Protein backbone atom coordinates (compact mmCIF):
# COMPACT_ATOMS: atom_id res chain seq x y z
CA UNK A 1 0.00 0.00 0.00
CA UNK A 2 1.34 3.43 -0.86
CA UNK A 3 1.54 6.22 1.72
CA UNK A 4 -1.41 8.14 0.25
CA UNK A 5 -3.58 5.03 0.33
CA UNK A 6 -2.60 4.39 3.92
CA UNK A 7 -3.57 7.91 4.88
CA UNK A 8 -7.02 7.22 3.47
CA UNK A 9 -7.62 4.21 5.73
CA UNK A 10 -10.52 5.08 8.03
CA UNK A 11 -9.31 5.53 11.59
CA UNK A 12 -12.15 3.29 12.74
CA UNK A 13 -10.27 0.37 11.17
CA UNK A 14 -7.07 1.08 13.10
CA UNK A 15 -6.61 -0.23 16.65
CA UNK A 16 -7.44 2.37 19.24
CA UNK A 17 -6.36 2.81 22.81
CA UNK A 18 -7.98 0.37 25.24
CA UNK A 19 -9.96 1.76 28.17
CA UNK A 20 -7.01 1.22 30.55
CA UNK A 21 -4.60 3.14 28.32
CA UNK A 22 -4.18 6.18 30.60
CA UNK A 23 -1.02 6.11 32.77
CA UNK A 24 -0.16 8.58 35.47
CA UNK A 25 2.11 10.30 32.92
CA UNK A 26 3.86 9.57 29.65
CA UNK A 27 7.44 10.51 28.83
CA UNK A 28 6.60 12.12 25.47
CA UNK A 29 3.81 14.71 25.48
CA UNK A 30 2.45 13.59 22.09
CA UNK A 31 2.19 9.91 23.06
CA UNK A 32 -0.70 7.84 24.35
CA UNK A 33 -0.06 5.14 26.93
CA UNK A 34 -0.58 1.57 25.66
CA UNK A 35 1.40 -0.46 28.17
CA UNK A 36 3.41 -3.53 27.31
CA UNK A 37 2.90 -6.45 29.65
CA UNK A 38 5.32 -6.25 32.61
CA UNK A 39 6.68 -9.68 31.59
CA UNK A 40 8.07 -8.05 28.43
CA UNK A 41 10.48 -5.47 29.87
CA UNK A 42 12.79 -4.90 32.84
CA UNK A 43 12.00 -2.24 35.46
CA UNK A 44 14.94 0.13 35.93
CA UNK A 45 15.77 3.68 36.92
CA UNK A 46 17.54 4.95 33.83
CA UNK A 47 19.47 7.06 33.21
CA UNK A 48 20.65 6.80 36.83
CA UNK A 49 21.18 3.02 36.70
CA UNK A 50 22.46 2.91 33.10
CA UNK A 51 23.39 5.73 30.71
CA UNK A 52 21.26 6.24 27.61
CA UNK A 53 23.45 6.47 24.51
CA UNK A 54 21.27 5.41 21.56
CA UNK A 55 17.92 5.53 19.88
CA UNK A 56 17.27 2.34 17.91
CA UNK A 57 14.96 2.64 14.89
CA UNK A 58 12.84 -0.42 14.07
CA UNK A 59 10.16 -1.40 11.57
CA UNK A 60 7.50 -3.71 12.97
CA UNK A 61 7.18 -6.08 10.01
CA UNK A 62 3.51 -5.99 10.97
CA UNK A 63 0.61 -3.60 11.19
CA UNK A 64 -0.01 -1.29 14.12
CA UNK A 65 -1.43 -4.32 15.92
CA UNK A 66 2.17 -4.93 17.01
CA UNK A 67 0.89 -3.37 20.22
CA UNK A 68 -0.96 -6.62 20.91
CA UNK A 69 2.33 -8.53 20.74
CA UNK A 70 3.82 -6.26 23.41
CA UNK A 71 0.74 -6.87 25.60
CA UNK A 72 1.15 -10.67 25.35
CA UNK A 73 3.33 -11.92 28.26
CA UNK A 74 4.37 -14.98 26.24
CA UNK A 75 6.13 -12.91 23.56
CA UNK A 76 8.99 -11.51 25.70
CA UNK A 77 9.48 -8.45 23.48
CA UNK A 78 8.66 -4.75 23.62
CA UNK A 79 9.73 -1.29 22.52
CA UNK A 80 9.38 2.04 24.23
CA UNK A 81 7.28 3.50 21.42
CA UNK A 82 5.33 2.54 18.30
CA UNK A 83 4.59 5.09 15.57
CA UNK A 84 1.56 4.50 13.33
CA UNK A 85 2.07 5.00 9.60
CA UNK A 86 -1.19 6.62 8.52
CA UNK A 87 -1.20 9.55 10.92
CA UNK A 88 1.98 9.48 13.02
CA UNK A 89 0.07 8.51 16.18
CA UNK A 90 2.60 7.62 18.88
CA UNK A 91 1.96 4.96 21.51
CA UNK A 92 4.28 4.60 24.48
CA UNK A 93 4.50 0.99 25.65
CA UNK A 94 7.39 1.06 28.13
CA UNK A 95 8.54 3.98 30.30
CA UNK A 96 11.88 5.39 29.18
CA UNK A 97 13.37 4.69 32.61
CA UNK A 98 12.67 0.96 32.06
CA UNK A 99 14.50 -1.41 29.72
CA UNK A 100 12.45 -2.49 26.70
CA UNK A 101 13.44 -5.77 25.07
CA UNK A 102 13.83 -4.56 21.49
CA UNK A 103 17.41 -4.73 20.28
CA UNK A 104 18.25 -8.42 20.67
CA UNK A 105 21.39 -7.37 22.55
CA UNK A 106 21.15 -6.84 26.31
CA UNK A 107 23.86 -4.16 26.41
CA UNK A 108 22.08 -2.14 23.74
CA UNK A 109 18.70 -2.69 25.40
CA UNK A 110 20.06 -1.17 28.62
CA UNK A 111 21.56 1.84 26.80
CA UNK A 112 18.84 2.73 24.31
CA UNK A 113 15.30 3.80 23.59
CA UNK A 114 13.56 1.60 21.00
CA UNK A 115 11.12 3.12 18.52
CA UNK A 116 9.07 0.79 16.32
CA UNK A 117 7.46 2.06 13.10
CA UNK A 118 4.41 0.41 11.62
CA UNK A 119 5.16 -1.26 8.31
CA UNK A 120 7.36 -3.65 6.45
CA UNK A 121 10.96 -3.17 5.33
CA UNK A 122 10.06 -4.15 1.76
CA UNK A 123 6.99 -1.86 1.61
CA UNK A 124 8.31 1.72 1.79
CA UNK A 125 4.83 3.17 1.24
CA UNK A 126 4.42 2.78 4.99
CA UNK A 127 7.14 5.40 5.54
CA UNK A 128 4.71 8.32 5.26
CA UNK A 129 5.37 11.99 5.90
CA UNK A 130 3.25 11.71 9.06
CA UNK A 131 5.35 8.78 10.32
CA UNK A 132 8.67 10.53 9.60
CA UNK A 133 7.53 13.81 11.18
CA UNK A 134 6.11 12.24 14.37
CA UNK A 135 9.05 9.88 14.79
CA UNK A 136 11.61 12.65 14.25
CA UNK A 137 9.88 14.85 16.83
CA UNK A 138 9.90 11.91 19.27
CA UNK A 139 13.56 11.05 18.61
CA UNK A 140 14.60 14.71 18.95
CA UNK A 141 12.83 14.95 22.31
CA UNK A 142 14.46 11.74 23.56
CA UNK A 143 17.90 12.92 22.43
CA UNK A 144 17.43 16.30 24.09
CA UNK A 145 16.15 14.74 27.33
CA UNK A 146 19.17 12.45 27.71
CA UNK A 147 21.92 14.39 25.94
CA UNK A 148 22.15 11.89 23.09
CA UNK A 149 23.77 13.45 20.00
CA UNK A 150 21.34 13.80 17.10
CA UNK A 151 23.51 11.98 14.58
CA UNK A 152 23.83 8.61 12.83
CA UNK A 153 26.38 7.39 15.36
CA UNK A 154 23.70 7.55 18.08
CA UNK A 155 20.44 7.16 16.14
CA UNK A 156 20.86 3.73 14.63
CA UNK A 157 18.92 1.10 12.77
CA UNK A 158 18.15 -2.25 14.35
CA UNK A 159 20.45 -3.80 11.72
CA UNK A 160 23.36 -1.89 13.27
CA UNK A 161 23.02 -3.49 16.72
CA UNK A 162 25.90 -5.96 17.18
CA UNK A 163 24.83 -9.57 16.90
CA UNK A 164 21.45 -8.90 15.32
CA UNK A 165 20.05 -10.75 12.34
CA UNK A 166 17.48 -8.01 11.62
CA UNK A 167 17.51 -5.77 8.55
CA UNK A 168 15.17 -3.00 9.71
CA UNK A 169 14.49 -0.26 9.03
CA UNK A 170 15.75 -1.41 5.63
CA UNK A 171 17.26 0.19 2.54
CA UNK A 172 14.23 2.40 1.83
CA UNK A 173 14.38 4.21 5.18
CA UNK A 174 15.57 7.72 4.28
CA UNK A 175 18.26 8.35 6.87
CA UNK A 176 19.31 11.71 5.43
CA UNK A 177 15.76 13.01 5.58
CA UNK A 178 15.15 11.50 9.02
CA UNK A 179 18.27 12.91 10.69
CA UNK A 180 17.51 16.27 9.08
CA UNK A 181 13.99 16.22 10.57
CA UNK A 182 15.35 15.20 13.97
CA UNK A 183 17.70 18.17 13.92
CA UNK A 184 14.91 20.56 12.89
CA UNK A 185 12.48 19.37 15.58
CB atoms under 10 Å from CB of 159, counted, come to: 18
Q: Residue range 104-131: average pLDDT?
A: 97
Catalytic one of 45, 96, 116, 122: 116
φ, ψ (nearest 5 deg) of residue 156: -125, 160
pLDDT at 116: 98
φ, ψ (nearest 5 deg) of residue 110: -70, -20
CB distance 92 to 34 below 8 Å:
yes
Among 20-34, 47-61, 160-174, which is the least confidently predicted range? Answer: 20-34
Q: In this predicted model, which residue has the larger pLDDT, 154 or 65?
A: 154
Distance, CA of 43 to CA of 78 (rounded, Å): 13
List, for residues 134-182, the tens digit of each pLDDT value: 999 999 999 999 999 999 999 999 999 999 999 999 999 999 999 999 9
Distance, CA of 88 to CA of 128 (rounded, Å): 8
Q: Residue range 115-120: average pLDDT?
A: 98
Known catalytic membership, residue 118: no
User: Sign of the C-alpha dihedral, residues 91, 93, 94, 99?
Assistant: negative
pLDDT at 155: 98
Amino acid sequence: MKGAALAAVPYALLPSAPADARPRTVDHPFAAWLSADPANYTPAERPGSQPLDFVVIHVTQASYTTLNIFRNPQKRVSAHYVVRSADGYVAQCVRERDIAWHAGNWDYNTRSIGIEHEGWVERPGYFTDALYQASARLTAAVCTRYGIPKDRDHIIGHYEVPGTDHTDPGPDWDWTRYIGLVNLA
